[in-house]
Amino acid sequence: MTDFVQPAGFASRPAHGPLLRAIFNLVDSWPPLAFAVTAAATLGLLFQVGHFYEHAAQVTIWILGDYSNICGRDTPWMSPWVTEWVRLAGVYLFPHDGTARQMMLGMELLHLVANFIFLSSIACLYYVITSKWVRRAFVIEGLHLCEHLALTLTAYYVGYPIGVSTLFGHAGQFGGREFAVGYRVVWHFLLNLLPMPFCMIALMDYWHPHRKDVALARALRGTGSAPLTVAD
């Protein structure tokens, strides 16, 4: 059996810590807020699909290298619209810096915002589906957000991003520019990928709460061990 409950009221929820109980109680007591939280979870997860596509295309183009006819492995690919957003963010927020620094800070800042949106959507999803799978997705994405926070702060204060995905600023010393770019794009691709199946499992269990019981019953019926006792 799954460990989620529908958000039909605070009384039906499993026990949580005082802070989480207070948040759930507040949301449950105001239906418009509950609807807004559910909508935020939906929109945030849809946004993550597009965000993940960007990372998937980026790592694919890096693997292809010169065969992609787009850019070599020493350049991290970004789609034209994301590149323009990065440029505009850098020019608007850091008007007195050079172009290279504007692009670096714009990229780090937009990545930080994108991952904050994803983490927030997972938190909202946990209100709808209090599942262990959503908790696991939240932990993974929380660590990913911490990485982007470190990258953004060090890029601003130190002058280059320092984090696990840059081998603390020394990735280029291990294998040159191509290795540094590849290590980072693969690292962030995986960290964007990992929480998504957990959210999908939670949603599948939410929409089909008896699917495990049906599968077990069908297996038992196939072996003749027991009759099928649940609707299929």
pLDDT value for 208: 76
For residue 200, pLDDT beyond 70: yes
pLDDT of 8 > 50? The answer is: no
pLDDT band at 30 (very low <50, low <70, confident <90, very high): confident
The model's confidence at residue 28, banded by pLDDT at 50, 70 and 90, is confident
- pLDDT tens, residue by residue, 70-101: 998 999 999 999 999 999 999 999 999 999 99
Q: Which residue has better confidence, 11 or 14?
A: 14
**What CA–CA distance (Å, rounded) separates 137 from 130?**
12
Average pLDDT over residues 188-197: 96
Q: How far apart, in whole angstroms, are the C-alpha atoms of residue 177 and residue 73?
A: 8
Q: Where are the alpha helices (DSSP H) in the chain?
A: 18-28, 31-64, 80-93, 99-128, 132-157, 171-193, 195-207, 211-223
68: left (phi over 0), alpha (psi -120 to 50) or beta: alpha
Residue 229 pLDDT? 41
16 vs 47, more confident: 47
The answer to whether residues 99 and 87 touch, using CB atoms and an 8 Å cutoff, is: no
Please state which of the ranges 37-46, 134-143, 175-184, 207-216 shows the lowest mean pLDDT: 207-216
Compute the distance between CA of residue 223 and CA of residue 232 in angstroms, rounded to an integer. Answer: 17
195-207 vs 99-128: helix axis angle to the nearest 10? 30
Both tokens of 119, joined, read 């983490």
pLDDT value of residue 5: 41
Give pLDDT, residue 175: 83
Higher pLDDT, 177 or 231: 177
Read off the pLDDT of each residue in 51-63 and give the average, rounded to a whole number. 96
Would you list the DSSP string of 132-166?
A: HHHHHHHHHHHHHHHHHHHHHHHHHHTSS--SGGG
The more confidently predicted of residues 230 and 12 is 12
Give the pTM.
0.81
Report the distance separating Cα 49 and Cα 52, nearest Å: 5
In the chain, what's the furthest Cα-to-Cα distance?
A: 76
Q: How does residue 24 score in pLDDT terms, banded at 50, 70 and 90?
A: confident
The predicted structure's pLDDT at residue 26: 83
Say if residues 184 and 151 touch (Cβ distance below 8 Å). no
Confidence band, pLDDT 50/70/90 cuts, at residue 215: low
| Token code pair at residue 100 | 């290279």
- The pair of structure tokens assigned to 120 is 């927030």
Token pair listed for 231: 């609707």
Q: Measure the CA–CA gap between 110 and 69, rounded to whole angstroms.
A: 26
Q: How confident is the model at residue 205 (pLDDT cuts 50, 70, 90)?
A: confident
pLDDT-derived band at 7, boundaries 50, 70, 90: very low
